[in-house]
Structure 1
Amino acid sequence: MSHNLRPVPQPIGIFPQFFAQAPETLVLKEHVLSLTGDSFSIKLTNGTPIVQVEGKVLSLSGRKKVCDMAGNHLFSIRKEHFHIHTTFGVEDPKDQKIMEVKSSLALFGSKATATFTSLNGKQETLQMKGNFFDTRAEITDETQGGLVVARIDRKILSGKDLFFGQQTYAVEVAPNVDMALIAALCICLDEKNNEK
């Protein structure tokens, strides 16, 4: 990764226990061959696990359950049907929608918009724009003037990952940004890419 992202002036997110204290890099590894549908382990580059993501096999909505490392259910990600553009709902354990991620067509690459209410009650709009092959993307906070809050680098790290059809992503997250929510956005982008 290039230069570190600067801290955002106002914290962005819903889960204070996951707000980055310093610039952090998350590593998302997709386990395509697991028997429970797609599941991801999300860790820091030093190997410290942050959250565990489990996919439900044979689920029409492709529901993914996200838990902290103590097994507490934080939220679920569900593909919503009957939308023109691919839309995902992020729901709390009581099935209340806490974030919506909508993808839209971009001339070059992919684009997605996430809307949610931050812990401080502020409406947030995060915009994710990637290049044509979705190997790199930036996530910007539109409510704070297009500030870059995270950067995705979808480089496949090794031939072994390529052979087993697994993707590995590095996601750089700015201080004061919710790493769990950024991970949710990345999972939505990955699900969207897997539809092709």
Structure 2
Amino acid sequence: MAQIAPVPQPIGVHSQFIAQKTETLVLKEHVLSLSGDSFSVKLADGTPVLQVEGKVMSISGRKTVRDMQGNHLFDICKEHFHIHATFAIKNPQDQKIMEVKSKFQLLGSKAVATFTSSNGKAEQLQMKGNWFDTSADITDEAQGGIVVARIDRKLLSGKDIFFGQQTYALQVAPGVDMALMVAMCICMDEKNNEGK
């Protein structure tokens, strides 16, 4: 994957997860885990970054995201009673810090994430994927459609797909919150799993 240019001003909520350079994260789903769909999130060099724990028997499909010290960062919850799939990212106090809502699109898939960055700026990022959702670009339309992150599943081996596990390569631009981009990637995975 080609390098993604740095963003003009930081985008995100978690200052400790703002990428200092272009970072590639690998999200590996653990389908057969006893806790439900869980993910390990590592840098391309294998350094663990985040742990994502799925909750069994959760109507919202709640997933808890923690840093490697075990600190609770946020939960990803599917919201019901919406026409289009909608996910809420909630902080440990159960307050919504980001919403990811899918939009109808004839070819491919599209979702919009809305949140307020820690600098107080209202953000709206678009995630557009191909028909089979093996890749997606996350763009900031307010800044001229610049790419802030890129999700790609094609780079990775077929054995993951054979065993029903998803593995994603997530490339994040310098200046962007890696934890929120992981949340968007997991929302895309959840949306894709609905059709199965």
1:95 corresponding residue in structure 2: 94
**Which residue is equivalent to 2:143?**
144
Shift >4 Å, 4+ stretches: none
Name the residue aligned to 1:68.
67
Task: Give the AA of the match of 2:133.
Answer: D
Structure 1 segment 28-177 matched on structure 2, within 5 A: 28-155=27-154, 157-177=156-176
Report how far residue 143 of structure 1 moved. 2.1
Cα distance in structure 2, aligned partners of 1:141 and 1:162? 30
Q: Percent identity?
A: 73
1:28-80 per-position Cα deviation (integer Å, ceiling 9, x unaligned)? 11110111000001111000111100000110000000000000000000000
- Give the equivalent residue in structure 2 for 1:187: 186
CA distance in 2, matches of 1:114, 1:16: 18
- Does the aligned pair in 1 maintain the 2:48–2:68 contact within 8 Å? yes
Query: For 2:85 and 2:158, how far apart are their aligned partners in 1?
Result: 30
TM-score (normalizing by structure 1): 0.97
RMSD in angstroms over aligned alpha carbons?
A: 0.9
**Rounded Cα–Cα distance in structure 2 between residues aligned with 1:188 and 1:152:** 12
Structure 2, gaps ≥5 residues long? none
Pairing 1:23–2:22 present = yes
- Name the TM-score, length of structure 2 as normaliser: 0.97
- Other structure's SS at 1:191 match: helix
Alpha-carbon distance in structure 2 between the residues aligned to 1:17 and 1:168? 24
Q: What secondary structure sits across from 2:56 in the alignment?
A: coil
Task: Assess if the C-alpha contact under 8 Å between 1:156 and 1:168 holds in 2.
Answer: no
- Cα distance between partner residues in 1 of 2:49 and 2:13: 15
The structural deviation recorded for 1:162 is 2.2
Contact preservation (8 Å) 2:155, 2:169: no
* 1:11 aligned counterpart, secondary structure: coil
CA contact (8 A) 2:88 2:96 kept: yes
Amino acid at match of 1:187: I
Amino acid at match of 1:62: G
> What is the total number of aligned residue pairs between the two structures?
195
By how many angstroms is 1:156 displaced? Answer: 6.4
Instruction: Give the counterpart letter for 2:87 in structure 1.
Output: F
